[in-house]
Amino acid sequence: MKLTKHTDYALRILMYTALLPEDQLLSIQEVTDAYDLSRNHVMKIVQKLGREGYLSTIRGKGGGFTLAKSAQAINLGELVMCMETTMNVVECDRPLCRLSSGCRLKGVLAEAAAAFIAVLNRYSLADLIGNRCDLIRLLAIAD
């Protein structure tokens, strides 16, 4: 199972945001600088995270974003399902596979993807930032 970069970056953005004090806003520029990502890409991800209720966003000068709910309330499995467009590991229909009517591979891979999500469902964003001091140092966040 491989996550899209969109989901990978969403996780990183949420981790960074969760490391900040609750009242501190994070800017798109801070994220692009910290992770060396495209501003346009980060903006799209932040917008989606805002629409989906993971981030609270404030537009304009002095704006930014912060977590919309606690890090403990952000379930990783739910987040991944929200960010990914599909959890299909293989596409048997494009092009149509000759084996599809008798093949069991798709079912086995669907079971594996479900197990992947089941593991993620056991964790929250808070679990990812348990080593808070190390992460703050690595991101060069001022305390």
| pLDDT score for 143 | 58
Look up residue 9 and give its amino acid.
Y
Alpha-carbon distance of 57 to 25, in angstroms, equals 9
The proportion of the chain whose per-residue pLDDT surpasses 90, expressed as a percent, equals 72
Look up residue 105 and give its amino acid.
L
Alpha-carbon distance of 75 to 127, in angstroms, equals 10
The per-residue pLDDT for range 56-114, each reduced to its tens digit, is 999 888 889 999 999 999 999 999 999 998 877 777 777 888 888 888 988 899 899 99
Candidates 129, 99, 104; CA nearest to 17 is 129
| pLDDT score for 92 | 79
Domains of the chain: 5-139 (1.10.10.10)
Task: Give the global pTM.
Answer: 0.88
SS (H, E, C) 28-85: HHHHHHHHCCCHHHHHHHHHHHHHCCCEEEECCCCCEEEECCCHHHCEHHHHHHHHCC
